[in-house]
Structure 1
């Protein structure tokens, strides 16, 4: 009996051991199978948790960011250092980090109008995530994000302004000063339009500044140069309104806090030293001045970005509002008056080719304009029978960046102390002439390319900046400008004939002494005779469209019969009839601010 019990106990132990071995074996097999099939039950981390820095190349230098991650996600992105132009790059620094975090992806769009800053910021974030052990290929794929629920919105206000560039913001501020509540619709991600990326020169006859510099000028002279500079195709009454109100509007801007330097200068194609230079770079001063006022308006002025106007609302032959498309739904704004300030069509290749009759095909020419300058306001005006004038008058500029067509990288500081040479090293035009004259001459040169030549008089030190907030040392380091201690060395660097180049500079210097020039140039200042010497390449680019909606001196839009379209006003590059065939350099900022101010005032009072 005892023996049977012992045998049963031994059998039980053996059975238990067999079952344990079997279970262990199955577990190991399952593990082996899972590893061989690539479906390990272990979860791998996306990042090594921590905080990492990265550096990218922006428009004006390095952009440094700090990125915080945990094992699986991007938690925070902070911009530590950058030299990008304030106002111009703000939207990129606001939007891109948020979009990266929201989508957990590097597949994000650049911000229009701040492309270089956007690319530099994305590069810096990428470098930080790479340091965190992230799979950049995987992070660069588009990932589905939760879409914000669409919501249509309707507003009621006194004045609605289409476009948040210089003209639109001038109109908004002016309307508010005259008692109106205002809503501004801007299709781009940030305010600014072409104004914020412009050279920012503002023409006005200025008794105070000009007299201190010994410059004789008058409103009549400004009128004559503007009217005749456009081949007498502009509306004389509009030209007179512009030149008479340019200085009072400049004083109005100063009263709002805008600052200009003490000395006036001659801007490219301006024909006379009456251009005012803002203290802040590019056109940021104008936009910051207006936005500062708007921020203090207690929400009586609202600016809705990413909101594209589509159609004017008309009731009983009166324009009473705007239908628009917002980022997350349709937007309707009901108003007593509408100000159209949506800009020109320089960035719309099809549209400029449709109307161009004066230049060779413009398809392959780049533009100085921001991407939103596509003629939307002109199209909306046509829908309500607005008359169009001067649409064939498209201004090209001989000052485009060879790669981008933009104004950035231009090393000239003023008209009087620089020359142009072609790829053979020869001068070929009066460098103080009208813009169309200079551009036509450039288009006849080899590869339609020229070199702007300046010397130490323009850049006393390497950290001296051009009109686009770029130092000459940075431009040289980036290969966008060339520097030499002799003319012969500079000629070698830029690949032009040395003898011809030296002769061209000497010829200009002799003309400065004589006061006369073989090309008929009359605007001189100093010789090009002091090292270091600098050169920068430039090409033709589409700059300004002089045609658009016809307006009267009260900035009211006119129909095809010359009658006022009630409730509709317009200002800035969306209008036509002011500049004729050719706009003088420095007149655009005077135009957009002057007529923007007039449009806003009259829209507010219902004139």
Structure 2
């Protein structure tokens, strides 16, 4: 696909979204709409009382009690919810206020918490029905934006767009250099994807060296360049490898203390407790940005970069949650908007990937679009993604029926090399030992199609029921991220028998998240595979098991475990988790954004994921690099942006 075609397509697509959003905001603020809203609300009637309703959120069910008078919805109480702290829970509180104040369900999903938002709205809609209310009318009452039509002027030395790990780091380091900084964030949450991350890599940090683990810098850099086929910026890689260790100490001094972990010879640094991270980052901003006369503005979305007569970037136009337009002038603008992984159409067109977005829902690419419109180059390696985990489609629904351990049976098998893996057509596509490494597992699957299937026989299921994963001779525990098994740590052992395994897998099929067949031909037909293709692949695999020699993919004998001689057989639908897009803007080692001539766009900087394309070729292959680079690029990029601003 030509870059020019992609640029035109995305320009039209994003412009349409922005236009619809703006038109919707204008309509919501017209006097006619206000009068209509008042008329609708005046005519609403309910059966007074409190009604219980439930719907599915991102992390599990959201249960509410909604109270009505004869004419109004008066209260919403959250009975139970397990939404992400600092993201989903804040979205719930914001939506509750909007629904009650506006007497409407016509509220926008909260950026970064769309699934949570939808879950709450569906639960309240159910309660409206129970109370005999007119759901259509309740949905038609528009939300008026108090600031609609107002414009405010602001100014700073540096404005940072996005308050994730890279944005906060950029804002803090710029303020520490003496710059006045304004940082804006489209959600109510500070920290972005770092609030969900596990660990970062800070090469040769003082903690790593003190622990006796030191990386040979020159070997690391040379191997990195070769492994990415030389299609990277060698200077950018060198800067990260040699400077990231300093970021560990910098973060520690700021109160963001990470813990060093020798992870099988890799230098990883585990981030602070999940529920403490946002508070620490807010404190960092308060002590640097706000203490130096700057501002931290949340629930405010950047819409456009302001440019001068010579193409220089001189500020940002943004919109607050109440509809107020902010025109912020600045000498340096730092883009830290987190990429576009939540934009399914954009990811598919740029990379051909159709898996799961495991990152944040607000990252749909507007920051890139704004920078491109201001003259930034679309990099030649544009499209790479951070494919990093395998997911079983069955897990979510099964968790509503079983314990977390039992619900994770299909997921755990997707991380073991002992099972046959096939693509949508039914063809086997890899040595299943690739499942032992997260990046290898993710990319081999994604290259094969939107999902793959893990084949499990009845005899294997019986062995799991009796002896747990030891029954199928698993070489080690599934290499899932710690948060995947945190709530069943005590049972997460090779020897733990898999109680109810048969029923769990049958319910997986009943829920539409897997397939079953008494014969391999029936399984293929039920799963939509080509029967001939799957039959041939299955017979070849059975031959490899019997001979101990896999002539197709070279799978070792120890992983070629017997599947028995009869069915039934199950197919687990496994999908790949995309933690974020990689790149989109080309930067130099000062994190200045470059134009088509590879010359800096004056006044424009980029840090974090949007600048990460200089490190990788077509996809992310690091472990901990994403978060380590976010903090490091933010720290260094903020310093450079401040130096530029203060020199003017």
- The answer on whether the counterparts of 1:402 and 1:537 sit within 8 Å (CA) in structure 2 is yes
- The answer on whether the counterparts of 1:398 and 1:538 sit within 8 Å (CA) in structure 2 is no
Structure 1 CA distance, aligned partners of 2:449 and 2:377?
Answer: 38
Check if 1:367 corresponds to 2:357. yes
Shift in Å at residue 567 of structure 1? 2.1
Structure 2 CA distance, aligned partners of 1:57 and 1:489?
Answer: 23
Structure 1 CA distance, aligned partners of 2:395 and 2:617?
Answer: 24
Q: 1:472 to 1:537 in 2, by over 3 A?
A: farther
SS in 1 for 2:173: helix
Structure 1 CA distance, aligned partners of 2:334 and 2:82?
Answer: 35
Q: TM-score, normalised to structure 2's length?
A: 0.66
Structure 1 CA distance, aligned partners of 2:319 and 2:186?
Answer: 9
Q: Deviations over 1:420-465 (max 9, x none)?
A: 74158987243356836852356448963348999597599xxx99
Q: 1:264 to 1:325 in 2, by over 3 A?
A: same
Structure 1 CA distance, aligned partners of 2:505 and 2:44?
Answer: 57
Structure 2 CA distance, aligned partners of 1:136 and 1:369?
Answer: 36
CA RMSD of aligned residues (A): 5.0
Q: Which has the larger radius of gyration?
A: 1
Q: Deviations over 1:46-68 (max 9, x none)?
A: 34556665554433344444544
Structure 2 CA distance, aligned partners of 1:488 and 1:208?
Answer: 50
Quote the residue 2:5 is aligned against. none
Check if 1:467 corresponds to 2:467. no
Q: 1:311 to 1:425 in 2, by over 3 A?
A: closer
Quote the residue 1:564 is aligned against. 600
Structure 2 CA distance, aligned partners of 1:219 and 1:487?
Answer: 48
Quote the residue 1:549 is aligned against. 585
Check if 1:579 corresponds to 2:583. no
Quote the residue 2:281 is aligned against. 290
User: Equivalences for 1:335-354 in 2 at 5 Å?
Assistant: 335-349=330-344, 351-352=346-347
Q: Deviations over 1:225-247 (max 9, x none)?
A: 43333222111110011122223
Shift in Å at residue 69 of structure 1? 3.7
Check if 1:276 corresponds to 2:279. no
Quote the residue 2:70 is aligned against. 71
Shift in Å at residue 134 of structure 1? 4.3
Quote the residue 2:164 is aligned against. 165
Shift in Å at residue 249 of structure 1? 1.4
Q: 1:293 to 1:418 in 2, by over 3 A?
A: farther
Quote the residue 1:12 is aligned against. none
- The answer on whether the counterparts of 1:229 and 1:434 sit within 8 Å (CA) in structure 2 is no
**Correspondent of 2:443 among 425, 439, 443:** 439
Structure 2 CA distance, aligned partners of 1:520 and 1:209?
Answer: 38
Q: 1:145 to 1:112 in 2, by over 3 A?
A: closer
Shift in Å at residue 294 of structure 1? 2.5
Structure 2 CA distance, aligned partners of 1:62 and 1:487?
Answer: 24
Q: 1:44 to 1:184 in 2, by over 3 A?
A: closer
Unaligned runs of 5+ in 1: 1-42, 267-271, 477-481, 511-516, 528-534
Between 1:70-79 and 1:184-193, the stretch displaced more is: 184-193
Structure 2 CA distance, aligned partners of 1:446 and 1:604?
Answer: 43
Q: Deviations over 1:116-157 (max 9, x none)?
A: 3223433554565566x3426356532144442421111011
Structure 1 CA distance, aligned partners of 2:394 and 2:375?
Answer: 36
Quote the residue 2:294 is aligned against. 300
Between 1:200-209 and 1:98-107, the stretch displaced more is: 200-209
Check if 1:600 corresponds to 2:598. no
Higher helix share: 2
Quote the residue 1:333 is aligned against. 328
**Correspondent of 1:265 among 252, 263, 266:** 263
Quote the residue 2:626 is aligned against. 588
Structure 2 CA distance, aligned partners of 1:162 and 1:491?
Answer: 46
Quote the residue 2:139 is aligned against. 141
- The answer on whether the counterparts of 2:205 and 2:249 sit within 8 Å (CA) in structure 1 is no
- The answer on whether the counterparts of 1:193 and 1:372 sit within 8 Å (CA) in structure 2 is no
Structure 1 CA distance, aligned partners of 2:283 and 2:46?
Answer: 41
Quote the residue 1:428 is aligned against. 431
Q: 1:378 to 1:135 in 2, by over 3 A?
A: closer
User: Equivalences for 1:182-581 in 2 at 5 Å?
Assistant: 182-188=181-187, 190-197=189-196, 199-205=197-203, 217-261=215-259, 263-265=261-263, 273-281=266-274, 287-295=278-286, 297-298=290-291, 300-314=294-308, 318-327=312-321, 328-349=323-344, 351-352=346-347, 356=350, 361-362=352-353, 364-395=354-385, 397=387, 399=389, 401=391, 421-423=420-422, 428-429=431-432, 430-431=434-435, 435=439, 438-440=442-444, 443-444=447-448, 448-450=452-454, 458=477, 466-467=482-483, 471=487, 484=498, 518-519=554-555, 537-540=573-576, 543-575=579-611, 576-581=613-618
Quote the residue 2:98 is aligned against. 99
Unaligned runs of 5+ in 2: 1-41, 400-406, 457-463, 471-475, 509-513, 524-537, 562-570
Structure 1 CA distance, aligned partners of 2:61 and 2:126?
Answer: 13
Q: 1:451 to 1:74 in 2, by over 3 A?
A: farther
Structure 2 CA distance, aligned partners of 1:75 and 1:115?
Answer: 24
Q: Deviations over 1:131-187 (max 9, x none)?
A: 6x3426356532144442421111011210122222222211222222222212334
Between 1:571-580 and 1:380-389, the stretch displaced more is: 380-389
Structure 2 CA distance, aligned partners of 1:566 and 1:445?
Answer: 41
Structure 2 CA distance, aligned partners of 1:128 and 1:592?
Answer: 43
Structure 2 CA distance, aligned partners of 1:276 and 1:94?
Answer: 33
Q: 1:369 to 1:412 in 2, by over 3 A?
A: same
- The answer on whether the counterparts of 2:316 and 2:328 sit within 8 Å (CA) in structure 1 is yes
- The answer on whether the counterparts of 1:164 and 1:191 sit within 8 Å (CA) in structure 2 is yes
Structure 2 CA distance, aligned partners of 1:108 and 1:483?
Answer: 47
- The answer on whether the counterparts of 1:166 and 1:287 sit within 8 Å (CA) in structure 2 is no
User: Equivalences for 1:109-148 in 2 at 5 Å?
Assistant: 109-126=108-125, 133-135=131-133, 137=135, 140-148=138-146
Quote the residue 2:402 is aligned against. none
- The answer on whether the counterparts of 2:376 and 2:601 sit within 8 Å (CA) in structure 1 is yes
Q: Deviations over 1:242-280 (max 9, x none)?
A: 1222232133223333344553437xxxxx633333343
Structure 2 CA distance, aligned partners of 1:158 and 1:56?
Answer: 46
Quote the residue 2:568 is aligned against. none
User: Equivalences for 1:40-55 in 2 at 5 Å?
Assistant: 46-47=45-46, 49=48, 54-55=53-54
